Structure 1
Amino acid sequence: MTASDDPVLTEVTGRTGRLTLNRPRALNALTHPMVRRIAETLDAWEHDPAVRTVVLTGAGARGLCAGGDIRAVHDDIRAGGGAASAAFWRDEYRLNARIARYPKPYVAFMDGIVMGGGVGVSAHGTVRIVTERTRLAMPETGIGFVPDVGGTHLLALAPGELGTYLALTGQPVGAGDALRCGLADHFVPAGRLPDLLTALAGRDVHDVLADFVGEAPPGRLDAHRAWIDHAFAADTVEEIVDRLLGSGRPAAQEAAAALLAASPTSLKVTLAALRGAPGLGPLEAVLEQEYRVSCAALSAPDLAEGIRAQVIDKDRTPRWSPASLAEVTDDDVARFFAPPAGRPLRLATGAAPQEVPW
């Protein structure tokens, strides 16, 4: 493998350490070795006085990161019962917590597609920059999974029920709505990102931002806040769907259709995870919950089936089990929040989150 083939490129230019996710043909989807490489590099740069700022970028023109390598998750479930995926998530969630508490400015260029695991390595950063090309989403319910990488923590903090809407429908949003939901901090036109990167090599990020930040294109969510907040405040997914269908608004009908196409189990587990996240406290506690949920998904039928339908066979007709919301019981949901069969993830809160020793 040549340096240019490395899935994570690292370089230090002036005061800036740059991490580039480098799998453009796979939309920079994260693998376990990539997570480890990022974590190792952050550890090294934390103690390097020459590195004052870390910048995360994605190779290629399509986006920062489309998420985790879900094809690998599918193959792992089929071949090994999901043990490799559980190990990957353990390190990935530790990395998400590490980024959130990194002691140096961590600047994420959230340009283009930013989904799933891509949100995890960017939206916990110090300075989160979106562009006119940003398409941000947590689309997990459509593949029989649940928002993870701290996504339930972030979305639970969004205004009103916007986070619930995004988590359940998986709908992508642009720069304006990402800013509105608290998933990003600043808008910078995509064409100015190279100049911003150059400026960061010589000056601190907060000294240069004002020269590059602009006004984001208008979002679309605020115009729909009335029906979103009313429908998604319901206590059950069934009631959310009923309220959407009864609103008479075309956009609400589309949201209902998205829910009815998603995994019924994933929808109910996602709603429970979101509702419970604020009471858990810090990000680390939410990541611990997400690890329990993610590990439980490995032994449930919908994750492998959803990936098969969306990515492997691409027939777009997943056969969910249970097939309807009415068939998903409270016990079915509770099972996802039970401790995993293996060692649970326990993170200590601190500048460099570590697993709590046993």
Structure 2
Amino acid sequence: MSGAEEPVLFHTTGRAAHITLNRPRALNALTHTMVRRIDEALTAWEADPAVETVVITGAGERGLCAGGDIRAIHDDARDGDGCASRAFWRDEYRLNARIARYPKPYLAVMDGIVMGGGVGVSAHGSVRVVTERSRVAMPETGIGFVPDVGGTHLLARAPGELGTHLALTGAQAGAADALLCKLADHYVPSASLRPLLDSLAELPVTEALAGVVRTPPPGVLEDQRDWIDTCYAAGTVEEIVHRLLAHGDPAAKDAAETLLTRSPTALKVTLAALRRARELGLLERVLDQEYRVSCAALGTPDLVEGIRAQVVDKDRRPRWSPKTLAEVTDADVERFFTPLGASELGLCAACGDPADPHR
């Protein structure tokens, strides 16, 4: 396989080491191989005194990463025994935790589309850069899944109920909104990315950023805080939808209509996961919870059906089971959080309960 065909590329320039996700035709969707290679590179660079900064970018013009390879997950859930997906998530979530604890500056260029697994390899980094092209989202409820890769940890920490809105609807956050929701740290115009990356060969991150950070164009979420915080503070998804429809703001009505197209089961599990993530606190604890939820999702009809409708057949007409929120019971939701015994991810037990960098 030639270098251009490698799914992830690595190189060092001066004091900076670079990771380039290199599947542009698949919008740099992550595979298990890519996850393992990134982890191996981080191991090598952590021990290399010549490397002072790690940078992650995506090949092509469309974005950093659209998420995990959900076609592979679809096929595994439909035709296999789920082992391949569970193994992928085990290594992916461990990588997410490692990025959050990495001892050297980890600069993520969140340019263009950054969704799902793309959030996992970027938004846990210590230096997170967005541009005017950024579209950051966790759209899992639209495929019958639940935000993972530490997404419930990140969204649970957004101000007010902004994270609940983003998690349930899968709405995309532009640069200003990503900064508001604490998914990013700095706005850099896309035209300044190349000068920034070039300067990292010689300069520390703080000095390299100083000349290129700007104020982003206005977002939309700040002006929507009133209805978002009021409506999404409800205790159930049914009540959230009721409040959105009754509020009177057209954007609230649009959000309600979006929710009613999502997997009812995924919506209820997502709300429960977010509320529990707030209490769990530590990223590793939340990743352990997300692993239980993801493994449980493999055995549900909505994951296969959601990916089929959105990605495989692309008819955009998923047939959810159960069809309505009212049919999803508390017991249905609780099953997603059942401990896995010897199969637990076990990150929190292994991490020694370190201080959380995103507290």
Counterparts of residues 244-283 of structure 1 (less than 5 Å): 244-283=244-283
Q: Report the secondary structure of 1:336's partner residue.
A: helix
Q: Which whole-Å deviations, capped at 9, do the CAs of 1:37-77 have from their partners, x for residues lacking one?
A: 00000000000111100000000000000000101100111
With the length of structure 1 as denominator, give the TM-score of the two structures: 0.97
Matching of residue 31 in structure 1 with residue 31 in structure 2: yes
Tell me the CA shift for residue 81 of structure 1: 2.4
Matching of residue 118 in structure 1 with residue 118 in structure 2: yes
**Long gaps (5+) in structure 2:** 355-359
With the length of structure 2 as denominator, give the TM-score of the two structures: 0.97
- 1:16–1:170: structure 2 CA closer, same or farther, 3 Å change rule? same
AA at the equivalent of 1:66: A
Q: Report the secondary structure of 2:99's partner residue.
A: helix
Tell me the CA shift for residue 209 of structure 1: 1.1
**How far apart are the structure 2 equivalents of 1:176 and 1:54?**
24
**How far apart are the structure 2 equivalents of 1:249 and 1:207?**
44
**How far apart are the structure 2 equivalents of 1:50 and 1:4?**
26
Provide the residue aligned with 2:97 in structure 1. Answer: 97
Provide the residue aligned with 1:290 in structure 2. Answer: 290
Provide the residue aligned with 2:357 in structure 1. Answer: none
Tell me the CA shift for residue 303 of structure 1: 0.3
Q: Which whole-Å deviations, capped at 9, do the CAs of 1:230-289 have from their partners, x for residues lacking one?
A: 000000000000000001111011100110000000000000000010211210000000
Provide the residue aligned with 2:178 in structure 1. Answer: 178
Matching of residue 144 in structure 1 with residue 133 in structure 2: no
Tell me the CA shift for residue 339 of structure 1: 2.0
Kindly report structure 1 stretches of 4+ aligned residues shifted beyond 6 Å. Answer: none
Q: Which whole-Å deviations, capped at 9, do the CAs of 1:106-128 have from their partners, x for residues lacking one?
A: 00000000000000000000100
Provide the residue aligned with 1:355 in structure 2. Answer: none
The answer to whether the Cα contact below 8 Å between 1:101 and 1:351 also exists between their aligned partners in 2 is: no
**How far apart are the structure 2 equivalents of 1:157 and 1:216?**
21
Provide the residue aligned with 1:61 in structure 2. Answer: 61
Counterparts of residues 124-139 of structure 1 (less than 5 Å): 124-139=124-139
**How far apart are the structure 2 equivalents of 1:225 and 1:116?**
24
Matching of residue 225 in structure 1 with residue 225 in structure 2: yes
Q: Report the secondary structure of 2:343's partner residue.
A: coil
The answer to whether the Cα contact below 8 Å between 1:241 and 1:259 also exists between their aligned partners in 2 is: yes
Q: Which whole-Å deviations, capped at 9, do the CAs of 1:314-349 have from their partners, x for residues lacking one?
A: 111111011000000000000000023761100122
Task: Identify which range, 77-86 or 230-239, moves more after superposition.
Answer: 77-86
Query: How many equivalent residue pairs?
Result: 353
Provide the residue aligned with 2:203 in structure 1. Answer: 203
Tell me the CA shift for residue 350 of structure 1: 5.7
**How far apart are the structure 2 equivalents of 1:342 and 1:66?**
32
**Taking every aligned residue pair, what percent have the same amino acid on both sides?**
70
Provide the residue aligned with 1:158 in structure 2. Answer: 158
The answer to whether the Cα contact below 8 Å between 2:153 and 2:281 also exists between their aligned partners in 1 is: no
**Long gaps (5+) in structure 1:** 353-358
Counterparts of residues 62-77 of structure 1 (less than 5 Å): 62-77=62-77
Provide the residue aligned with 1:349 in structure 2. Answer: 351
Provide the residue aligned with 2:12 in structure 1. Answer: 12
**TM-align CA RMSD:** 1.3
**How far apart are the structure 2 equivalents of 1:336 and 1:266?**
10
Q: Report the secondary structure of 2:55's partner residue.
A: strand
Provide the residue aligned with 1:313 in structure 2. Answer: 313
- 1:201–1:350: structure 2 CA closer, same or farther, 3 Å change rule? farther
**How far apart are the structure 2 equivalents of 1:351 and 1:101?**
12
